[in-house]
Amino acid sequence: MATKKRKHRKGMEQDKEPETVFEDRISELPEAIIIHILSFLPTLNAVRTSLLSKRWRHMWTSVPAIDICDSRDIPCLRRRDEGNSGRKKFYNFVDMCLKHQYADTTISKFRLSVNYYGGSSRVDDWLRFLGKKTVQELELHVLPMKARYCLPHSIINFRSLTLIKLTGLALVNFAPTSLPSLKELCLSYIQMDDRVLNNLLLSCIFLETLQVHYCYGLVNPKVSSLSLESLDFKTGGMTCYCHTLEVEAINLHSFAFEQSGGSRSKKCDINLVHCSRIRNLSLSKAFLTDQWFKVLIPQLPHLESLKLKDCYGFQHIKIWNQNLRNFDFTLHSQWDSPEATIDAPNLAYFCYTGYSLLKISVNAPNLLDIYIEVTDHIRKTYDVAWYTCLIEFLSEFNSSKNVSVFCCNEKALIIPDELKKMHSSPLPDLKHMKVKTGSRPFRKAMLQKSLLWIAPSNLEKFPF
Tens-place pLDDT, residues 132-167: 888 999 999 998 988 899 999 888 888 999 999 999
Report the distance separating Cα 328 and Cα 302, nearest Å: 17
Report the distance separating Cα 327 and Cα 431, nearest Å: 22
The H or E element that residue 309 is part of is strand 305-309
Tens-place pLDDT, residues 251-304: 999 999 999 876 676 789 999 989 999 999 999 999 999 999 999 999 999 999
pTM: 0.86
- Residue 445 gets which letter from DSSP? H
Tens-place pLDDT, residues 4-15: 545 455 554 455
Whether 376 shows a pLDDT value over 60: the answer reads yes
Burial class (CB in 10 A: 0-12, 13-18, 19+), 67: buried
Residue 109 has φ and ψ, to the nearest 5°, of -150, 130
Closest C-alpha among 429, 418, 428, 348 to residue 388: 418
Report the distance separating Cα 410 and Cα 451, nearest Å: 11
Report the distance separating Cα 63 and Cα 104, nearest Å: 8
Tens-place pLDDT, residues 292-307: 999 999 999 999 999 9
The fraction of the chain above a pLDDT of 90, given in percent, is 57
